[in-house]
Amino acid sequence: MKKFSSDEWPKGVLKTSFPIYKPRAMAPMGLLEQEGWAIKTYGIQAHERKEGVDMFAPELLTAANDQLLSLLPFTRDEGEFYKTGFAVLHAGMQANWLLFQWWTHDDVWCQFLSYSDVSDPLNFTLSSRPIVACVYETAIIWHEQRAWIENVLNGNANRRDYLDDFMTARTC
């Protein structure tokens, strides 16, 4: 048996196969409130856009918000939760990704991942794939983890402080 070296990529994978990381535009998109829920929303855009141009077409935002709201009844399946979470709409290169994440069981976040194909961007479908997030989306997830720890798991849980604590960077 050939000894495997951890610095070698599997056969067929070249270190030059990976793209060079380039920051993507990111922005907080506000708070979505419905039926006691409060969902912090963010947007990420993989495509170049001119300064001052909206990150997403209004129809795409509406479709994403409709998808989020349609998922709310399914959050009950997990049990105790706080109707508090965050969502990321990411206009990627191959699809639009919509991550809906909410907090439950004190320190656990749950996720539904939806997507729409670029050829049919307003038709979001719930994904059954094992994808969690890409490197760009994890920047927001890390911020939200820190915000939950600092504002909720601090001995004096404050939902408003958590909801006001948006990631404000312009790129991720």
pLDDT in tens, 33-75: 999 999 999 999 998 877 767 889 999 999 999 999 999 999 9
- Cα–Cα–Cα angle for 14, 7, 12, rounded to 5 degrees: 25
Confidence at residue 78, expressed as pLDDT on a 0 to 100 scale: 82
Does residue 110 surpass a pLDDT of 80?
yes
Contacts of 20 (CB under 8 A, 6+ apart): none
> Mean per-residue pLDDT for 8-14?
83
Confidence at residue 80, expressed as pLDDT on a 0 to 100 scale: 61
Confidence at residue 13, expressed as pLDDT on a 0 to 100 scale: 85
Residue 43: burial class (beta carbons within 10 Å; 0-12, 13-18, 19+): buried
Its pTM stands at 0.91
Sign of CA dihedral 75, 87, 139, 94: positive
The two tokens of residue 1 are 């048996």
